[in-house]
Amino acid sequence: MFKHIIFHAIFIILSWTTPSFALPLSPGDRVKVIIPEGEEFSGIFEVNLEGDLEIPYLSPLPVVGLEPKQVEENLTTALIHGAFFQPSFLQVNVRVVQWASVEVFVSGATFLPGRVFINELSPGDRTQPPVAVAGQYPPNRYLAVAIRDAGGVKPNADIKRIQLIRDRETRIVDLSGILTGEPFADIPLIAGDRIIIPDSGKMHNELVRPSPITPIGVKVFLSNVTEPDPSNPPPDGVSFAYGARFSHAVAAANCAGGTRGTNAARKAVLARTEQLTGKTTYIERSVNRLLMDTKNNDANNPFLMGNDIVVCYDSKVVEFRDVIQTILNPLSILRNIFR
């Protein structure tokens, strides 16, 4: 008994620390069981909410977290112990014919932490019977997909020490290869998995670019209230590639250029509101210095983040003119500001 416990513990450790690319089963997955001369046990079965397969004449067979090969072995054992077959005459084949969507939980340094559904089926797929084709591959049931669907990692994320928690066991996963093209172990997920993205405590500029685990782009709201123009951005915001900086938004908002008198003192403000705390911070920069400064660092010219607001304004003379215009017709200015 003691040896059996030790062997079982070693098996769990090895299976959890050794990279595995097989796909374990989750509730909702559908498998096809084929047993020659055992038609009453054959058919297409769906893993129920308790994580079992309900096969006629057998007790519920636990399968969640197991790979199809392991299900074959356990089903073979159950059929032999039930005296339904002799070992020498029994052949069991189990193959997945439809992978279900699964619910996982992502927390830590991501833009949209919370509950995430991955590998969701379209309404049409939900109503169609599963096609009995073995070997279907669900590319959207993996760790990187769950992180992407949680908004992607923030620039302060530690992607070398991502925690994947399953059945109270924790596995540390290094996804840094996803940014460099190096091989990495993308882990297949099952329902209920928990993913924690640690905060490294510092900014990683290499994470501020489109990738499978970062945002593709960000939407920024721009306003050039002092010089309204038909070519100004639409009120629903402008999309930028993830990795664009403050200066890109200033140029897109038509803040650069114009007459010498008004352009000399033109400035731009970047307003950003933290999603979790609700705290808003403001950064003011001279447009001329922002575009001409060779020190293109994070303090002088920060990266744009989703829902940032960039507003441009001109010299003191123009500001005074705008104050008068606001008094006479405040709605036109306010409408532009709240775009």
Per-residue confidence band for 6, with pLDDT thresholds at 50, 70 and 90 = very low
The C-alpha atoms of residue 144 and residue 224 are separated, in whole angstroms, by: 39
First vs last Cα of the chain: how many Å apart? Answer: 70
* pLDDT value at residue 328: 44
Q: What is the CATH number of domain 24-98?
A: 3.30.1950.10
Residues of the chain by 3-state class (helix, strand, coil), percent to 5: 25, 25, 45
Per-residue confidence band for 339, with pLDDT thresholds at 50, 70 and 90 = very low
* pLDDT value at residue 287: 86
Domain 99-207: give its CATH superfamily.
Answer: Outer membrane lipoprotein wza domain like (3.10.560.10)
Tens digit of each residue's pLDDT (9 = 90 or more) over 301-333: 999 999 998 888 775 555 534 533 433 454 444
Give the pLDDT mean for 114-137.
Answer: 69
Flag whether pLDDT at 92 surpasses 50.
Answer: yes
Looking at 128-132, 164-168, 214-218, which range is the least confident one? Answer: 128-132
* pLDDT value at residue 313: 79
* pLDDT value at residue 42: 94
What would the DSSP string read from start to end of 148-214? HHTT-B-TTB-TTSEEEEETTEEEEE--THHHHT----PPB--TT-EEEE-B-SS--GGGSS-BTTB
The C-alpha atoms of residue 253 and residue 114 are separated, in whole angstroms, by: 34
Residue 109 DSSP one-character state: S
Per-residue confidence band for 334, with pLDDT thresholds at 50, 70 and 90 = very low
Domain 217-337, classified CATH 3.90.660, yes or no? no
* pLDDT value at residue 71: 96
> Residue 173 corresponds to which amino acid?
V
Same fold, 99-207 and 217-337: yes
Is-contact 25 66, C-beta < 8 A? yes
Mean pLDDT score of the chain, rounded to an integer? 81
Per-residue confidence band for 15, with pLDDT thresholds at 50, 70 and 90 = very low
Tens digit of each residue's pLDDT (9 = 90 or more) over 220-246: 988 876 555 555 555 568 999 999 999
Flag whether pLDDT at 90 surpasses 50.
Answer: yes
Tens digit of each residue's pLDDT (9 = 90 or more) over 169-189: 999 999 999 998 888 889 999
* pLDDT value at residue 315: 56
Per-residue confidence band for 8, with pLDDT thresholds at 50, 70 and 90 = very low
The C-alpha atoms of residue 196 and residue 199 are separated, in whole angstroms, by: 9
Domains in the chain: boundaries: 24-98, 99-207, 217-337
* pLDDT value at residue 23: 85
Flag whether pLDDT at 7 surpasses 50.
Answer: no
The C-alpha atoms of residue 75 and residue 254 are separated, in whole angstroms, by: 68
Give the pLDDT mean for 191-208.
Answer: 95
Give the pLDDT mean for 238-255.
Answer: 91
Kind and range of the H or E run holding 104: strand 102-108
Tens digit of each residue's pLDDT (9 = 90 or more) over 259-292: 555 555 788 889 998 877 788 888 888 888 888 8
Dihedral sign for Cα atoms in the order 108, 113, 115, 118? negative
